[in-house]
Amino acid sequence: MIIVFLGPPGSGKGTQADILHDNHGFFHFDTGSRLRAEIASGSELGQRIASFTNAGKLVPIEIIKEMILKFLREADAERIMFDGFPRNLAQAEVLDEGLKEYGDDLDYAVYLEIDEDNLLARIVNRRFCSKCGEIYNLISKPPKQAGICDNDGAELTQRKDDTEEVFGTRLKVYLEETKPVLDYYRQAGKLHTIDGDYDIEDVSRAVAELLGV
Ligand code: AMP
């Protein structure tokens, strides 16, 4: 089964994707984390990527395309979920063509619909574990001890682009470039909308029910 998660920044895609991985064995392809790992490596490519991510803009299609096609070439998982991809129509076409080449097809596009007024609060309160990557929210999912990961005691950090200033650009990019992808999948009969405003557990139950896992 191959699925994509769609939704604005802060809609809970990453959290839900982690749950699908832990509970249902989905391979979690997280574009943003892969890009951040490339930046952390200090490579020249990473520096180029950072100039886009730090500004909240989309990384150019040729970089994303290479990453996706390489993954599809090497992937051997039965259940795959893409989180943070596709982010515009050109990327949706890259995915369709890439999957077709390997005789596959997308099963579900899961759209986490959320009240856009709440997004900024979700974003600026988001923290993640520098070691295991667990995502927290200072309001809705705080760690037991401030600044410390419940799983491994490592320090929690904030993403460089989770600021009010960069968020404005990220939301604009989402509205202008990513929202049209919803129509693309709606027309293909693959779009399924889940209300993302509920508790994490309720949303994950609705996702699992939809996928029949
Ligand atoms: P995310 O972790 O999904 O919030 O992504 C963080 C940032 O990485 C985005 O604001 C973009 O700059 C970049 N990014 C992530 N996924 C993509 C993608 N599919 N295409 C282009 N840029 C991306």
The answer to whether the beta carbons of residues 30 and 38 sit under 8 Å apart is no
Tokens of 205: 């139950």
Residue 88 has pLDDT above 90, yes or no: yes
pLDDT reading at 7 higher than 90: yes
How much is the pTM?
0.93
Phi, psi of 169 (to 5 degrees): -70, -40
Provide mean pLDDT across the span 44-71: 97
For 196, list phi and psi in degrees, rounded to 5. -85, 5
Q: Which residues pair with 156 in a beta bridge?
A: 129
| pLDDT grade for 203, boundaries at 50, 70 and 90 | very high
How far from each other are the two terminal CA atoms of the chain, in whole angstroms? 10
Cα 31 to middle of ligand 1, angstroms? 6
Domain assignments of the chain as residue spans, ordered by start: 2-26+77-114+168-211
| 85 in contact with ligand 1, CB cutoff 6 A | yes
Atom of ligand 1 lying closest to residue 35 CA: 8
3-state secondary structure at position 212: coil
Ligand 1 contact via 12 beta carbon (within 6 Å): no
Nearest to 67 by CA among 30, 16, 106: 30
Q: How far is the CA of 169 from the centre of ligand 1 (A)?
A: 12
Token reading at 35: 């890009």
Q: What architecture does CATH give domain 2-26+77-114+168-211?
A: 3-Layer(aba) Sandwich (3.40)
100-147 pLDDT, tens per residue? Answer: 999 999 999 999 999 988 899 999 999 999 999 899 999 989 999 999
Indicate the top mutation candidate among 57, 59, 68, 157 to test ligand 1's pocket, ranked by most ligand atoms within 8 A of CB: 59
Query: Pairing mode, if any, of strands 126-129 and 135-137?
Result: antiparallel
Mean pLDDT, residues 28-46 = 96
Give every CB contact of residue 126 below 8 A, 6+ residues apart in sequence: 10, 135, 136, 137, 158, 159, 162
Rounded to whole angstroms, the Cα distance separating 5 from 25 reads 16
Q: Which residues are catalytic?
A: 13, 87, 126, 159, 170
CA distance 93 to 88: 9
CA distance 26 to 77: 8
